[in-house]
Amino acid sequence: MARKKSLNLTEAELRLMDVVWDKGAVTVGEVAAALTGEPILAYNTILTTLRILEQKGYVRHTNSREGRAFIYRAVVGRKQASRNALRHLVRGFFANSPELLVLNLLDDGDLSQRELQSIRNLLAGGKR
């Protein structure tokens, strides 16, 4: 039986989406030029990943007026994608309980005093 395709972003897809979100409209070549760090991705890998992102509904392409290259634009914003990922995380690891997620974060011990105070302010109805 075929595995159901996930609508969530993989690390590689997120890396490309960061470029699309930052630039607004890009070609495959522009994504390749904007990517820094490891691993270095081949043009065909970027093209394939953008096609997958299009199938998932994160980007849409149009034809370029100047040449043969497609122009890719985000259909889903960064904020909506992060909310989707967080909902997936809460459903999968925290029994669909945002409270368990927050308790896990607070129990982790990696939060700074400033971060803890910011959370307290938010819970008290204040601002960050």
Q: What are the pLDDT digits (tens) for 19-47?
A: 999 999 999 999 999 998 778 899 999 99
All CATH 1.10.10.10 domain ranges of the chain, comma separated, are: 11-74
Higher-pLDDT residue of 108 and 8 is 8
Report the relative pairing of strands 59-63 and 25-26 from DSSP bridges: unpaired
Higher-pLDDT residue of 126 and 56 is 56
Q: pLDDT category, 4, cuts 50, 70, 90?
A: low
User: Mean pLDDT over residues 7-21, rounded?
Assistant: 94
Contact 105, 111 (CB under 8 A): yes
pLDDT of residue 88: 92
Query: 89, 82, 78: which is closest to 21 by C-alpha?
Result: 78
Q: What is the mean pLDDT of the chain?
A: 89
pLDDT of residue 49: 97
pTM, two decimal places: 0.80
3-state helix, strand and coil shares in percent for the chain, rounded to the nearest 5: 55, 10, 35
User: Mean pLDDT over residues 42-61, rounded?
Assistant: 96
The secondary structure element, H or E, covering residue 79 is helix 78-93
Higher-pLDDT residue of 5 and 18 is 18
Q: What is the DSSP letter of 96?
A: T
**Percent above pLDDT 90 for the chain:** 60
Instruction: Write the CATH number of the domain with boundaries 11-74.
Output: 1.10.10.10
